[in-house]
Structure 1
């Protein structure tokens, strides 16, 4: 750890926050709320929190698992609103390196799961307003998630297959704001910043008779810190809830995405001495990879998604929920395949239709005189992809190389029972059965018919115990299991360019966890978790086939041991302090690399995950309407790879890593009312100490292009106007 980096960052933090101390002591009153009302409003953030992590409403502190939570203040106030990582950094156990590359989804890992993917999100299930943003094959996407209208996010850390299906690392639940019931509003928000950043937002919401509504339209543009990182993105997000009667309601959610430009700068080698076509972080960390420029690497996306959620209470015992959803996605991409000059790149045309639904009933009653809640239900999903690949002739479309349909069908049934043994001791038992079927139909027969199919079925049991030792102390423990199937792109044949790898199995994990959490007097919230996860049949990249696609094998077994600690406390009215720490000792207990010079490489660290991370935040919300938030993040070094073979066939063993770093960010704003108009200017500085660091690692990249540099010091500013 470079102590000079940390010392410089902390000294700068003190100098930056000190000038605002007179403001913190002010006792001014805004036009519409007294100081006491404002302080009371902020104090609510540390009250008991009800979440839906277990698919039913329950106190966060009464769930026998590690669950994190961030609210609207954390997500929206003064944020640049570039990605979910801005606010989810407050939750321990999550690793979300921002690659500042909007061609690729934000890299998300929970307890080490999710980092094997160079695109999309794997091993973690994502839901928005109860509707899945994760496909039946396990791939997730977040490009349709609208930060500007997000009310709260909940994160389950650890295997969650007993309730949610294939979810090795955990679950992220995201919820859109409701419209205010007292007075409708229209809000305009505009922000601009470094690297030609701009984001404009128009939001409206309210209540009309039985109809509650929220609609948000945003436009996002960024040229980017590195060359060839331009992004243009327009997103419409809406939610309409109709109260049918006092016991039932129907919610419609709809989102429309238009992303015509999302350039991909690629990863860089450590230095340019690796090869003539391998651009290095040294000498130019802002450069795009050589071949990414040559082949004009990037993507365009159009997507429409619709969801229906029906809820019905029957007496005081039954809570029924039914869901139905549809997604249409058109995806075109240009890929920089091939490390050498003269080798064609690739192009993808993908048309996707995803639909599904589910039904559940939560039945609450007494059982032998004890409180009991039984939740049963099922989910069913279908994914239909039409995929064509072409040669990429320096940005122009070449010959067809792949034409196939990729269909995935999954269904699962689940049961969970929460039984109160005593008033202070609750036992949770759950189990789920899933089947996932893959079918690939090959229409490009120049290299023979390489159609194929696979079917996976898994039981996922779970048991948890929560003991309320004291009003402020809740001890918990659980044993849970998970499985994770290959995605459609991980079935690539080792031979290629088409084909199907029928030898793959689902990887399975078992999680053992104990912890403590609670609310202490004086409004202090805390969580501590200690866990071990054993995984067998780990899906790992093994090389690249003749078509440039990475193929996978089940050649790994891993052991993950970790500690996650989080603390939020209020030393003064309106002043919140957040601290968290994550320790991750993740290693391969078995790692087989075949071929000359290969063998067993047991004991290697799982790449892409820092061993230690820490986060600290000081947030002040003054009665005057001013708020200021200072946050600090420390990240340990990150290994780039496990032992693997380069595309050239050469063996690469673990050793290279991105250096550790410490970051300091600050944002502030001021909210005041002029008549019925709320006026909020805001300003932010990222990477105050101007660190040169690596934002993301492309794990096991076959040409050693591991590194994606992040921006140095950058700023943004904006204003929002709300009319009521």
Structure 2
């Protein structure tokens, strides 16, 4: 209640000051794959992470970047074990990121299962990250938590050159990045290669990733343009898994016993390719069509079996953008659709590692299962922004989705065929948003929006592999109000949002035997929260900028109704979400000379199980980086830097395995230990023609 009072007082203070000073808000354009518009006119909470902010750390770890954004929280047990949540949505997903829509340019990163793997992409290939919080956009599809839009970097006109970066750090961290680009009047080309390696803090924790990314634009005349976006990733990483409380406190560097004994790992080859054609018929209408494809092969030995999976996807996304006048007022609209087909084969084999001497690792045995799956969906969407008055803007949208699964069992266990198909009902998701410009400094916004998240294929299966005909998508309604402000000669700016998101048909993962899960719809949740962001420019000159910031996320997420078997968890805190997150920081920015940043973060305690009987401890982290930039002649420049993470050497839980259970007399393994104090340093050399 005290925190709420503080925010309300702050809100009215800014309003009173805004009556005195009148400076227009900065024109930052968002929604590039929907209806492009200035950020200040958005009817929902939107966060922008620039390329400069991405490079504040070691440019490998995504979690420190996302965790500075109010409302967003990324848990990262290892570089290849992550979970991203937005406003608590996705926190109950056991492995990976779900219920959040992700795009790389116009290419969906969210697969037919509704899961998104964002952290494997090369951060150095991005020009920015745009985050839409809550189910507030009709144009992005399945994603109750919101959407994360990764914008690839293209080469500007008359810009050509290359760069080479090398970084080394604690626990065998090595990062090599090479980039070459050329930009002409009617075409550009950009190619990037990177290798990221770490020996890991824990046993069985080595990580190695190679990435090649290319982007290109072609101007085909007055009305047509064409772009190419592609990326290939080769990743191999060990899996140390989670630890019990005693092991976490006493021997955090060890791997979980069975996972270490089996020398578990994942070996992934992943590629995406997208082609986009833009046609501008006139100043009032344009057509944008993208065709995309991807493949993913994964070999993953685990103690309980060995997983071998292959997937190929194909899709097309097309939309019309229009700009017209209605009743002498400007109307911007889009109408489009997206079709996605994902073909998947998953096999499991018996893991015979226990039959061999320690140190042998995993050994493949008999085939246990062989399933072919086809997962597909189509989306139709329309959205419009209407300038009702000079100050009042309305946003209306409707989204229609149909999702289906088909499974063919290629291996009949006990003569039982688990083949089948499942079609979810058509889901219609409307939204209504408003944006009111109180004055040149103070903008109010609000929205009411419907969203949903479909179950993954594994969640539609019962323990015997048969489809569960009663499984349903999670459905939610979001109600939000907020403000954006920019004051004191543009030096003070930020935003405040208050929201409540109410979710029904909550998917609950129930564990049968070790690492075997199935899902049921077992509850409702209420997500109430406050997000506040304050940025202040202390010094602004032609040579230097000294900026400070503070942002906070205050969460009150609870189970409204949740009965699982004989357990009533109604009223408990939502599992896997911290009570609050606060960030404080300072950035010294310079074109040449010394630059640096420091970030202090506090994270509240997190419930580890639905009964709220186990929590991770609250913790504080301090990260910092300092560097020096300069030119060498007319064509070369260099950037020397050194940084440190977890400067206070805090022992903390980097990720939770929620609702873990102990088997064979062993304690439950809830905790992934975070990295202790670690440092890195490197050099970047740039050449420009």
**TM-score in terms of structure 1 length:** 0.87
Task: Tell me, in whole angstroms, the C-alpha distance in 2 between the residues paired with 1:164 and 1:442.
Answer: 32
User: Which residue pairs with 2:440 in the alignment?
Assistant: 471
Residue by residue over 1:541-589, the C-alpha shift from the partner in whole angstroms, topping out at 9 and shown as x without a partner, is 12225x9521010001101100011122212111111211001100101
- Map 1:293-442 → 2, pairs under 5 A: 293-336=260-303, 345-394=304-353, 395-442=362-409
Task: Tell me, in whole angstroms, the C-alpha distance in 2 between the residues paired with 1:209 and 1:302.
Answer: 35
User: Which residue pairs with 1:667 in the alignment?
Assistant: 625
- Map 1:424-463 → 2, pairs under 5 A: 424-447=391-414, 448-456=416-424, 457-463=426-432
Task: Tell me, in whole angstroms, the C-alpha distance in 2 between the residues paired with 1:426 and 1:628.
Answer: 40
User: Which residue pairs with 1:265 in the alignment?
Assistant: 240
* Contact 1:161–1:167 (Cα < 8 Å) also in 2: no
1:49 equivalent to 2:7? Answer no
RMSD: 1.5
Task: Tell me, in whole angstroms, the C-alpha distance in 1 between the residues paired with 2:675 and 2:632.
Answer: 37
Question: Secondary structure at 1:98's aligned position in 2?
Answer: strand
Shift >3 Å, 4+ stretches: none
1:681 equivalent to 2:681? Answer no
1:159 equivalent among 135, 150, 153: 135
User: Which residue pairs with 2:179 in the alignment?
Assistant: 203
2:657 equivalent among 684, 688, 698: 698
Task: Tell me, in whole angstroms, the C-alpha distance in 2 between the residues paired with 1:389 and 1:242.
Answer: 45
Task: Tell me, in whole angstroms, the C-alpha distance in 1 between the residues paired with 2:515 and 2:171.
Answer: 33
* Contact 2:591–2:629 (Cα < 8 Å) also in 1: no
CA drift at 1:212: 1.0
Residue by residue over 1:247-298, the C-alpha shift from the partner in whole angstroms, topping out at 9 and shown as x without a partner, is 3311101111111x21111000112xxxxxxxx2132011110111122221
Task: Tell me, in whole angstroms, the C-alpha distance in 1 between the residues paired with 2:214 and 2:684.
Answer: 19
Task: Tell me, in whole angstroms, the C-alpha distance in 2 between the residues paired with 1:320 and 1:605.
Answer: 46
* Contact 1:126–1:173 (Cα < 8 Å) also in 2: yes
Task: Tell me, in whole angstroms, the C-alpha distance in 1 between the residues paired with 2:120 and 2:169.
Answer: 22
- Map 1:128-207 → 2, pairs under 5 A: 128-160=104-136, 162-207=138-183
Task: Tell me, in whole angstroms, the C-alpha distance in 2 between the residues paired with 1:263 and 1:98.
Answer: 14
User: Which residue pairs with 2:7 in the alignment?
Assistant: none
- Map 1:461-610 → 2, pairs under 5 A: 461-494=430-463, 496=464, 498-523=465-490, 524-544=492-512, 548-573=515-540, 574-594=545-565, 598-610=566-578
CA drift at 1:90: 2.7
Task: Tell me, in whole angstroms, the C-alpha distance in 1 between the residues paired with 2:365 and 2:207.
Answer: 25
Say if 1:216 and 1:623 are closer, same or farther in 2 by CA, change over 3 A: closer
Residue by residue over 1:479-505, the C-alpha shift from the partner in whole angstroms, topping out at 9 and shown as x without a partner, is 0011111112222313x3x33333211
* Contact 2:186–2:219 (Cα < 8 Å) also in 1: yes
User: Which residue pairs with 2:71 in the alignment?
Assistant: 93
CA drift at 1:54: 6.9
User: Which residue pairs with 2:9 in the alignment?
Assistant: none
Task: Tell me, in whole angstroms, the C-alpha distance in 2 between the residues paired with 1:609 and 1:507.
Answer: 18
CA drift at 1:209: 4.5
Say if 1:246 and 1:90 are closer, same or farther in 2 by CA, change over 3 A: farther
CA drift at 1:142: 1.9
Question: Secondary structure at 2:97's aligned position in 1?
Answer: coil
User: Which residue pairs with 2:15 in the alignment?
Assistant: none
* Contact 2:485–2:495 (Cα < 8 Å) also in 1: yes
User: Which residue pairs with 2:5 in the alignment?
Assistant: none
1:707 equivalent to 2:671? Answer yes
CA drift at 1:319: 2.6
CA drift at 1:161: 5.9
Say if 1:90 and 1:461 are closer, same or farther in 2 by CA, change over 3 A: same
Task: Tell me, in whole angstroms, the C-alpha distance in 2 between the residues paired with 1:52 and 1:71.
Answer: 15
User: Which residue pairs with 1:340 in the alignment?
Assistant: none
* Contact 1:56–1:362 (Cα < 8 Å) also in 2: yes
User: Which residue pairs with 2:602 in the alignment?
Assistant: 634
Question: Secondary structure at 2:248's aligned position in 1?
Answer: strand
Question: Secondary structure at 2:76's aligned position in 1?
Answer: coil
* Contact 2:511–2:517 (Cα < 8 Å) also in 1: yes
CA drift at 1:392: 1.2
User: Which residue pairs with 2:55 in the alignment?
Assistant: 76
Question: Secondary structure at 1:604's aligned position in 2?
Answer: coil
Task: Tell me, in whole angstroms, the C-alpha distance in 2 between the residues paired with 1:712 and 1:601.
Answer: 35
CA drift at 1:229: 0.7
CA drift at 1:67: 0.2
Deviates more, 1:112-121 or 1:396-405: 112-121
Say if 1:195 and 1:152 are closer, same or farther in 2 by CA, change over 3 A: same
CA drift at 1:165: 1.4
Task: Tell me, in whole angstroms, the C-alpha distance in 2 between the residues paired with 1:95 and 1:144.
Answer: 17
Task: Tell me, in whole angstroms, the C-alpha distance in 1 between the residues paired with 2:125 and 2:622.
Answer: 26
* Contact 1:102–1:264 (Cα < 8 Å) also in 2: no
CA drift at 1:227: 1.2
User: Which residue pairs with 1:612 in the alignment?
Assistant: 580
Question: Secondary structure at 2:413's aligned position in 1?
Answer: helix
CA drift at 1:244: 1.2
